Amino acid sequence: MTTQIKIGTRESQLAVWQATHVQNLLKETGVDSELIFIKSEGDLNTVTPLYELGVQGIFTKTLDAALLSKRIDIAVHSMKDVPTQLAKGIRQAAVLKRASYKDILVYKGEWAMVNNELATTHHSPLTIHHSPFIIATSSIRRKAQWLHRYPNHTIESLRGNVNTRLRKLEANDWNGVIFAAAGLERINLRPENSIELDWMVPAPAQGAITISCRADDNVTFGSCRPLNDETTFICTKIERDFLRTLFGGCSTPISALAVVENDDIIFKGNICSVDGTKRFDIEKKTALNGSSNLGNDAAAELLKNEDVKKIIQDIRNAKE
């Protein structure tokens, strides 16, 4: 007997695109499915006890609750939003092939002016020049890396889905907004007035989509496994191991990227102070077949530095 898989998704344009993409991939393997739209409303706290170590996924816990109550069979997420500690009773079913992992700046105004500003204020000390240049982002990681490179710029906070953030850029006196390239490109919203920030290290697992299911649902798990991309699975695990070992939360100024080159894994990661004044980087290379502990090892090496420990403690204190 064939059972139709219920795919849970939030209602934003990007979330629906991702869920529909999974639906189409399942169809290619002969698996029937339907989309179930889950609203993020006031019952979110009912999920809190399901998490260990106090970790809560602001973008994932509503779908987690729907999974555990069997309203849906799988949930589809942007993997960078998923806590490194999954809710009890939930497991990762598959990681899709990664799209672009890069961050991009969508800027306003003439490129010549923006380019000149970025070139002339790169690492300019605050005591020399304070620029009126304003960048908006919802990410602590992006804020910290931007301020480390451009300490004289002003950062504004913004929230909302990608459509809302693009509208806010036009409505506010900002010079640019930082986005994940994959999010805009998937729904064909990347504007021409955008540039890749090649110097910015991405969030762990940025650009990847993950599918989760109930831990005891072996049938659904088996249906999703053909969608798993092994290279993306390996790289995102390394990145998330790095994040988890350093701190554990996805809303932190921690960056990580692992890529496969021939038979090697190249890893780079960093942690910044929230204000961007301090940044600690690490790069490692190892054979692909011996990379299972690479993320943990890189984080452990950084944690030998007392300044890194202080940054993490400061972040923890700020969250209490």
Mapping DSSP onto H, E and C, the string for 275-300 reads: CCCCEEEEEEEEEHHHCCCHHHHHHH
pLDDT at 108: 95
pLDDT at 48: 33
Chain segment 84-122, per-residue pLDDT in tens = 989 999 999 999 999 999 999 999 999 999 999 998 877
User: What is the distance between the alpha carbons of residues 192 and 95, in angstroms, rounded to a whole number?
Assistant: 30
pLDDT at 138: 84
Q: Which residues does the annotation mark as catalytic?
A: 81
- The answer to whether the beta carbons of residues 104 and 197 sit under 8 Å apart is yes
pLDDT at 121: 77
- The answer to whether the beta carbons of residues 191 and 106 sit under 8 Å apart is yes
- The answer to whether the beta carbons of residues 51 and 83 sit under 8 Å apart is yes
pLDDT at 129: 64
Residue 41's CB: how many other CB atoms inside 10 A? 7
Mean pLDDT of the 241-269 span = 91
- Given a cut of 90, whether residue 240 has pLDDT beyond it is yes
- Given a cut of 60, whether residue 8 has pLDDT beyond it is yes
Report the sign of the C-alpha dihedral through residues 21, 160, 238, 198, in that order: positive
CATH topology of domain 1-101+207-228: D-Maltodextrin-Binding Protein; domain 2 (3.40.190)
Which amino acid belongs to residue 214? Answer: R
Q: What is the CA radius of gyration of the chain?
A: 20
- The answer to whether the beta carbons of residues 315 and 247 sit under 8 Å apart is yes
pLDDT at 122: 76
pLDDT at 127: 47
Q: Identify the CATH class of 230-320.
A: alpha beta
- Given a cut of 60, whether residue 213 has pLDDT beyond it is yes
pLDDT at 55: 37
Residue 55's CB: how many other CB atoms inside 10 A? 16
Structure tokens at 33: 């499915």
> Using 50, 70 and 90 to split pLDDT, how confident is the model at 61?
confident
Most confident of 9-18, 115-124, 247-256: 9-18
Mean pLDDT of the chain: 89
Mean pLDDT of the 60-86 span = 93
- The answer to whether the beta carbons of residues 59 and 81 sit under 8 Å apart is yes
Distances (CA, A) of 145 to 198, 274, 299, 305: 12, 9, 18, 19
For domain 103-196, say whether CATH 1.20.1560.10 is its number. no
Residue ranges per domain, the chain?
A: 1-101+207-228, 103-196, 230-320
- The answer to whether the beta carbons of residues 187 and 18 sit under 8 Å apart is no
Structure tokens at 191: 């504007």
Place of tokens 């695109």: 17
Mean pLDDT of the 219-237 span = 98
Q: Is 262 or 126 the better-scoring residue by pLDDT?
A: 262
pLDDT at 59: 67
- Which H/E stretch holds residue 171? helix 162-171
Distances (CA, A) of 48 to 43, 154, 216: 10, 35, 20
CB-side neighbour CA atoms (13 Å) of 297: 11
Structure tokens at 229: 């991309």
pLDDT at 175: 96
Chain segment 174-195, per-residue pLDDT in tens = 999 999 999 999 999 999 999 9
pLDDT at 161: 85
User: What is the distance between the alpha carbons of residues 239 and 244, in angstroms, rounded to a whole number?
Assistant: 9
- The answer to whether the beta carbons of residues 166 and 189 sit under 8 Å apart is yes
- The answer to whether the beta carbons of residues 237 and 248 sit under 8 Å apart is no
- Given a cut of 80, whether residue 50 has pLDDT beyond it is no
230-320: same fold as 1-101+207-228? no
- Given a cut of 50, whether residue 44 has pLDDT beyond it is no
